[in-house]
Amino acid sequence: MNRRSLLQGLSFSMLAAKLPGASSLYGQAEGPQAAPSRRIAANDRVNIGFIGPGSRGQELIRQLLRTPGVEIAAQCDVYEPRFAEVNEMVGKKVPAHRDYRELLQRKDIDAIFIATPPVFHASYAIAAMKSGRPVYCEKTIGFTQEDSQNVVDAVRKTGQVFQVGHQMRYASWIRDSIERVHQGEIGEPTQVYGYWHRSDNWRREAPNPSLEHLMNWRLYRESSGGLLEELGSHHIDIANWVFKERPQTILGASSIAVYHDGRTVGDNVQAVLGYSKGRRMFFSSITDNGLMADQLWIYGTEGSLQITLEDATFYKQTSKTITEASHSDVVQKGVATGASYSADSAMPYRGPGDRLQAKPGEDATLTACKSFVECVRSKQQPFANVEVGFGSAIACSTGRAAVYEERVAKIPQLPA
């Protein structure tokens, strides 16, 4: 495969063929024609069709099981051991399909969740919306630039409710703190610095070698944008949210420093994203580390904000004061000499910090699922809507070229 075809994106069937067993199982064509879907009243049970209940998918199912008025009504996967795992979690046998088109043809499904590898997101999401169903789609909404544009077009054309899996938008402490940033709490935000440093090889155990690409799709360029896409997309989305726009450029770098195990995506990645007025976002992800570390810093002209997976803290620079000095003490008596160290001064740039008093943090994915179900009932577009999804996806699909070729790439903007 040459670089051009890789970077422009492969056709769905080519990609499906790359994942052993997938082509004949997931199905290759566009989805079925619109299946008649019922109207959902405010108190009606919402029946979910779930495509791709792997590790992330099962986390979504777990949260859906905690969402009132929701039923996991059907599941679809090419890897059949998932079916039993889902049945156990749900506590009953959930009708299972190996082909997503069969699932979409069911008459008892009100909304679709998609948590497959991202190469399938766009085609499945578009088929689901054409079948008349609202869609919750894991990030990124598209693998290629064209994919992401097509998903936006489909939402605009069908008017379906569409939510992207940027659950950090639903974390109460992140939402509250970014609202404060928008109200001027740290002046004008100019930089976002995000890192997600893992402490593992990022590899899933494949039951046998023929399943390597299916299980470890994250590690291969044909099926994954690597750490930038899988982890960086969440942080890029927060930068887009803070700056209230999508990035214009991305500068990237990546290499394999440790895991020379056949993977073709880097085990470390760095990216600098350019926004208007010289504002920047920096992202780093590595796999060797003493602990899991996921943090975001938002720097402004009058302070900074630190966001973690559990809380948020504002820091303000201590204001400098100038007082009058005593001539007799300083000049006549002279100044004293002595030891200089004071523990409080060791990190003078780190002010005392104002811990955000957020409501006790419900799991952000649960809030995201509840919010989606509310949107399905009320037919409102979610907070993490398709344009939010476009913003991170377009940066990541463009970023692949930048990262592999270590250059600056221009990010296409969304036509109005």
For another protein, the binding residues (CB under 8 A) are 62, 65-69, 89-91, 205, 310, 360-363, 366
CB 258 to another protein: min, Å: 16
Q: How many CB atoms lie within 10 A of CB 330?
A: 10
CB 200 to another protein: min, Å: 8
CA distances from 194 to 236, 247, 285, 292, 293 (A): 8, 15, 9, 14, 10
Which one, 67 or 270, has the nearer CB to another protein? 67
What is the phi-psi region of residue 52: left when phi exceeds 0, alpha when psi lies from -120 to 50, beta otherwise?
Answer: left
Which one, 22 or 90, has the nearer CB to another protein? 90
**CB of 143 closer than 8 Å to CB of 368:** no
CB 64 to another protein: min, Å: 9
**CB of 313 closer than 8 Å to CB of 305:** yes
Which one, 100 or 170, has the nearer CB to another protein? 170
CA distances from 313 to 74, 130, 260, 306 (A): 42, 43, 38, 5
**CB of 295 closer than 8 Å to CB of 337:** no
Q: Helix %, strand %, coil % for the chain, to 5?
A: 40, 20, 45
CA distances from 130 to 12, 116, 155, 285 (A): 18, 19, 9, 37
Which one, 291 or 336, has the nearer CB to another protein? 291
Which one, 166 or 370, has the nearer CB to another protein? 370
Which one, 110 or 147, has the nearer CB to another protein? 110
CB 311 to another protein: min, Å: 9
Q: How many CB atoms lie within 10 A of CB 316?
A: 16
Which one, 91 or 338, has the nearer CB to another protein? 91
CB 361 to another protein: min, Å: 5
Dihedrals φ, ψ of 305, to 5°? -130, 130
CB 334 to another protein: min, Å: 51
CB 73 to another protein: min, Å: 15
Q: How many CB atoms lie within 10 A of CB 274?
A: 16
Which one, 105 or 295, has the nearer CB to another protein? 295
Which one, 234 or 400, has the nearer CB to another protein? 234
CB 226 to another protein: min, Å: 21
CB 215 to another protein: min, Å: 13
Candidates 180, 138, 167, 173; CA nearest to 308 is 173
Distance CA 225, CA 229 (A): 5
Which one, 190 or 295, has the nearer CB to another protein? 295
Burial class (CB in 10 A: 0-12, 13-18, 19+), 172: middle
CB 217 to another protein: min, Å: 19
Helix axes 145-158, 121-130, angle to 10 degrees: 10
Structure-token match 């002279």, residue found: 334
Which one, 146 or 288, has the nearer CB to another protein? 288
CA distances from 230 to 81, 165, 241, 297 (A): 24, 11, 18, 19
H or E element in which residue 56 lies: helix 55-64
